[in-house]
Structure formats: C-alpha cells, structure tokens
Structure 1
Amino acid sequence: MTLLADLLSTVFERRYRELVPSRRDGRSPDQLARALVGATGEISGRALASEILARFRAMSDDEKRSFFRHIATDMNIDSEAVRSTLDAYEHAPSRDSYRAFIAASEPRRQELIRRLNQVPGATAELVRMRADLLRLGRGEPELEALDLDFRHLFSSWFNRGFLVLRPISWKSPADILEKIIAYEAVHAIDSWADLRRRLEPSDRRCFAFFHPAMPDDPLIFVQVALTQGIPGSVQALLAEDRTPLAAEAADTATFYSISNCQAGLASISFGNSLIKQVARDLAAELGGLKTFVTLSPIPGLTAWLEREGRDWNGADAARMRSIAADYLLNAKRADGQPVDPVARFHLGNGAIVHDVHANADTSEKGLAQSGGTMVNYLYKLPQIAQNHEKYATTQEVIAAPAVVSLANALSRSRA
C-alpha cells in the first residue's frame, strides 16, 4: 500500500459510535429542532442533534413527513426581513448591512441541518434523511423548497475536493463488495461468481468515490472493461466463457456501468469527475490505451417510441440502429435537452455520440427499455472541455458522422 492509502486507512477507521442519546428528552422533535438552532453550547447542541437523529430513525413515514413540513414552514425565511435588509444594503452597502441581508436570506433550516451534522456519523444519517425527503415530498412545494437547502449544503460537503477515489478489487473488504452487488443499477450482478468475473481478471477495473464521513459506503462507482477495439455487446463483454485480455494489450477502456449508490445524493454530480479521473489514472497506468468510451443503455427509447406512436416491433437490426440514432440526436425535451437521461449525463460531461448497436443488450431489461440497442459515448480527453461548453451553450448533440447518417436515413424513410 502507498503512504496515501495508509493515511486514508487511518482516516477511514471506524470510530463512530451509535447516535443514541444517553437519556430521553421529553420534548417533541419539533421542539428539539427549535432548541438545536438556538443552542449556544457545543455539548448541549451535540446532545440535541443526537436525540433528533435517533428520533427520526424511528419515525413512520407520516411522522417524517410531518417533521419535514414543520421545519419547512417554521424555519423558513422571513420575507419582510429579507426585503428590509436588502433595502438597507442597497441604500448603504457595507459589511454590516450585507451581513444582515445574508443572515435574513438564509432560512434557519439550513442552520438546523448544519448543526445536525456536528455529531459523528451524522453525514450518512442526513443523506438517508434527504432520501426520505425526496421520496415523501414529491408534489409538495414547501418540501421541494426544503430539499434545495439539503442540496445546497450537500453540494459543499460532497465537493470533489473531499472525495477519495479508491479501486475496488476482488480483494476489497467483503462489506464493500456486498454493497457493489446491491448498488449495481445498470447490469445486475447475479452472484459472487458474477462479481468475481467483473473484478478479478486483468482486463477488468472498478473504481468508486468515497467520502471521509462515509468511509464504508461508496457514493458512485464505475466498472471498466479493458478491450481491443470498441465493443458493441454487453453480453459478449460479460460472458462467462470469455478469455481475459492482458491489460497491456488493451487499446480501449470501456466504461460499461456507472451506478449512483445513495438516493439521498441525487442531483449531486459525481459522475463527471469520476469518469475523467479514472480515464486519467488508466492512461497513466497503461500507455497503450488510446480510446475511452462507454457502452451505455438507452433507457428511454421504447417509452418514447410508444408516446410518439411509432411502431418498432419487428424492426431489423439496421432499422433499430437508425431509430436509436434518431432518438439520441433529435428527441428533445421542452428545454432543448435530450429526452434520454443517460445521453444528458454523458453529453453534459463532454462526450460525443460515437456509435449505436442493435442486439447489444439482449437481457429482459435491455429489450424492454431499448429493444436491445446500446450506444457508445466517446470521451476524447483533449476535447472534453470544448464539447462540454458547446453542449451547455447550444444543447447541440455532437455525434460521429456515421450516427448522423443513420438518423438522417430514418428521416428520409419517413418523408
């Protein structure tokens, strides 16, 4: 192990005690929340935070929703105070008038969340709390506004500078491997033998981001196949009887599965940094790697075809490729972004649509969501920033000429 790994092992050492207060406080969770925001002592504040988190874990969904509604309304901003302090700052800008405006414009519930995070192990608890909020708060404007406070704070707490990239191998701790199986969201891992085939061979890699406050729980992980050439079938990539390739013989790194692990960190972007960091690390390790590409699902394709009233049943491989290319390049939301969520992710990261493949995922899930089609997104490392800026500015889907031709061929056939 490197010196850095030794240091991180020390940082990641399990030393968190259970968040259970020494004695029960008779006040309601709402009263405890108000007391925590007003607490001036560190010890008393930690005790209150521990009590609130312990209570929240034991709540039913109805009780959690009630608690969220309370802090969303009782700890909201004071609109009059915001207006008056803004007027004062505009009339006489100064450090004091600006400080007053900032204090008025930040809701007290943000301070509540910060103070809840002051006890050991609370960060993971708050991530789970936000997962509950996202699940229970859909359609309630006050709770959706409360989520913006969680998201604002999490964006700072889970900033890339705090994240640690760790390789996952067959020799990683069993509890980490169990979570990789549980969190895999793209191509299900059916058994320990299946996991071993994805981690142990010399042409396979897996990397995950961890946070020092959650050392045993990956935030996001990516699985990589080292290949010769760009693959067009995930079944071939994961076949039990395939012959492993010597890592040094590979010319392509194929990112075939990226899984977010924490529902409570939805919309907190890690994937962009993860892909770029892994690509840089692999390029430094293996000088023969020249191509960095994904083999990605097209999860929205068949649902979109059904909404559009387009018939795709019985289409041959050539037509399915054209249908997929047309969808990826031309199916847009009202805001100009692609309909497909995976396309939005990779295009927003600076990739281009490189190729589409029919019969690429013949699993039940793959056939149901995309008729078995898959797509390669190509990451040309020197052009990522340029592609990202162009996409962010214009929402233009940058694609290889062959993909554009496929999409145009479908348009001509419908004309």
Structure 2
Amino acid sequence: MASRALDIYQSLSEDDKRAFFGALAKDFAADPDQIDEAYRIYKSDRSNKHLAVLFRVCEPLRQELLRRLNLAQGATYELVKMRQDFLTLMKGHKDFESINADFVHLFASWFNRGFLVLKRIDWTTPASILEKIIRYEAVHKIQGWDDLRRRLDDRDRRCFGFFHPSIGDEPLIFVEVALTKGIPDKIQPILADDQYDIDAPELADSAAFFGISNCQVGLRGISFGNFLIKQVVQELKQELPNLKNFVTLSPLPTFRSWLEKTYQQ
C-alpha cells in the first residue's frame, strides 16, 4: 500500500500535490481536544505515564503516515524528493510550516550521523556516482570529466562524501580537499588544471577544504557538513600523519577588489 501511495503521488500534477499537502496540514494534524484532555490529566498528576500520553497525542498523524510510507522499497529517497517538491510548494502557505517541521524531525532521525557512511570518491568510483558529483558541485563548477579527474588526483587531491544505505549511490554531501605545502592564500592555483603544489601526498603539510556541496534539496536544514569535515580530518590524519594544518578557502569572487574600492571611498 505504501508503494502504491508513493506511485500515485509521483503521478500528481503540481496543483494536486499542493492539495495533498493541504490535506496533510488540515486532516492529519494533532487533535486539539485530545491534547487539551491529556494536558489536563497530566497537570493534575505529573507522572511519566501521563506525560507519555501527552507526547503521543501531540504528535501529528502525518508523522505516522510518513513513517508508514517509508516502509516501501526505496521509499526514503522518494520522501526526500517529496520534501523537495514541498519546499517549492510551501511558499505562501503558512499552514504548511508545520509539515516542514515534521519532515525535519523525521529526517533528522533517519539521517542520523550513525546511519551515514563515509566514502572516498576517486577515479575508481563508479561512473554513476562521478556523474552526480559533476552535477551536484555547487561551489566551483566542474568543467567536464578532465576537470573532475584533476580534482580527484591521488597526488594532491581528496574527495569524500556521506552516503546513506537506504538511498544507494546518491551522495548526500561531499567535500573537496587540496593537499598543499604550506597554507594556500588563494583558490586560483588549486582550481588550475596544470598546477601541482606537491609531487606526492606525503610531502603535504596542509589540507585545504575548498568546496563542500549539499546534494539533496529535500534534506535542506539537516546538518551534515560539520560531521563530514571532522571525520575527513580524522581520515586524512590517519592516511597522512605529516599534515599539520587544516583550513578552508571560502569562495568570494571579486571580494578583494570590491573591498579595496569601497575602503578607498
């Protein structure tokens, strides 16, 4: 039944999807009368038993609906894509904000750090994943396969991503790292396709995180970046004990020229 429901959802028009979310907001909300009654009982007897009942009736029915939909094969990724639709359709609908909170609440549990798998992405990674890396790169656009291969070069580059067992080869987030001798002060040499700061990874003393990209719009608001960077630092330390500096290079094109011009004024 869950599979059938998700198939039907995918066939809906944009207006019908909006109506579906409208039904979730109205018909699958928590019952105010049950909440009032449970609170009245809990207020007179603040036991854990009555607190549990209060928690239960405060949970909107749509959370249970989403959990049941998630029982279908491949449903987790379908629900991520459903939220991607929802984020577009919720604009201008204040009554949809509670649905968004439910999605975030459930996804925060389903995509808990304990379920995420860290994988190194290199030139031996399946092409289906590499194609997605090119498509999802949101910081420094990858200019085709040659550019991608340069960014994955074993000599002075590393790339790592988080994956989730329930959604297969769809990356959740990935980070690109440049291995350098000394702390770099600009991004251009790192992005150049013909410059190498070191001839072997063991010669590097610094790792510069120069691009991190969230891949799934439907997981917006679910934090992965902090965990990813911290674990990648540990992976790099284990592989390359000579690394001493871990830094980021945040892209702000033309910022320096703007700042100099503004400061002079």
Q: Distance in 2 between matches of 1:237 and 1:177?
A: 20
Which stretches of structure 1, 4 residues or longer, exceed 4 Å deviation after superposition? Answer: 315-318
Q: Which residue does 2:244 correspond to in 1?
A: 290
Q: Which structure 1 segments of 5+ residues have no match?
A: 1-47, 303-314, 324-409
Give the 3 Å change call, closer, same or farther, for CA 201–139 of structure 1 in structure 2: same
Secondary structure of the 2:10 match is helix
- The structural deviation recorded for 1:140 is 1.0
Q: Does 1:270 align with 2:224?
A: yes
What CA distance in whole angstroms lies between the structure 2 residues aligned with 1:149 and 1:69? 14
SS at match of 2:71: coil
Instruction: Count the aligned residue pairs.
Output: 264
Aligned ranges for residues 54-65 of structure 1 at < 5 Å? 54-65=7-18
Tell me, in whole angstroms, the C-alpha distance in 2 between the residues paired with 1:67 and 1:316.
Answer: 50
TM-score (norm. length: structure 2): 0.94
Offset at residue 316 of structure 1 (A): 4.8
1:232 paired residue among 162, 181, 185: 185
Preserved CA contact (<8 Å) 1:208 1:219? yes
**What is the aligned counterpart of 2:158 among 186, 200, 205?**
205
How far is 1:283 from its partner? 1.2
2:260 aligned partner:
319
User: Could you tell me how far apart the structure 1 residues matched to 2:241 and 2:36 are?
Assistant: 59
Q: CA deviation at 1:235?
A: 2.1
User: Percent of aligned positions with the same letter in both sequences?
Assistant: 52
Distance 1:50 1:317, change over 3 A: closer
After TM superposition, the structure 1 = structure 2 runs for residues 13-412 of structure 1, keeping only pairs within 5 Å, are 48-243=1-196, 245=198, 246-298=200-252, 316=257, 319=260
Q: Structure 1 residues 149 and 318, CA, compared in 2 at 3 Å: closer, same or farther?
A: closer
Change (3 A) 1:81 1:192: same
Distance 1:157 1:317 in 2: 43
Q: Please state how far the C-alpha of 1:167 moved relative to its aligned partner.
A: 0.2
TM-score w.r.t. length of structure 1: 0.61
State which structure, 1 or 2, has the greater radius of gyration over its C-alpha atoms.
Answer: 1
Query: Is the CA contact 2:41–2:50 (under 8 Å) kept in the aligned structure 1?
Result: yes
Aligned with 1:297: secondary structure?
A: coil
CA distance in 2, matches of 1:67, 1:140: 13
**What is the alpha-carbon distance in structure 1 between the residues aligned to residue 85 and residue 251 of structure 2?**
28
Determine which structure has greater relative contact order: mean sequence separation of CA pairs < 8 Å that are 6+ residues apart, divided by chain length: 2
RMSD after superposition: 1.9
List per-residue Cα deviations over 1:20-71 (Å, max 9, x = no partner): xxxxxxxxxxxxxxxxxxxxxxxxxxxx211110011111111111100111
Q: Deviations over 1:298-354 (max 9, x none)?
A: 48x97xxxxxxxxxxxx858726xx6xxxxxxxxxxxxxxxxxxxxxxxxxxxxxxx
SS in 2 for 1:292: strand
Contact 1:138–1:144 (8 Å) recurs in 2: no
Q: Which runs of 5+ in 2 are unaligned?
A: none
Mapped contact 2:181–2:197 kept (Cα < 8 A): no
3-state SS in 2 of match to 1:293: strand
1:83 aligned counterpart, secondary structure:
helix
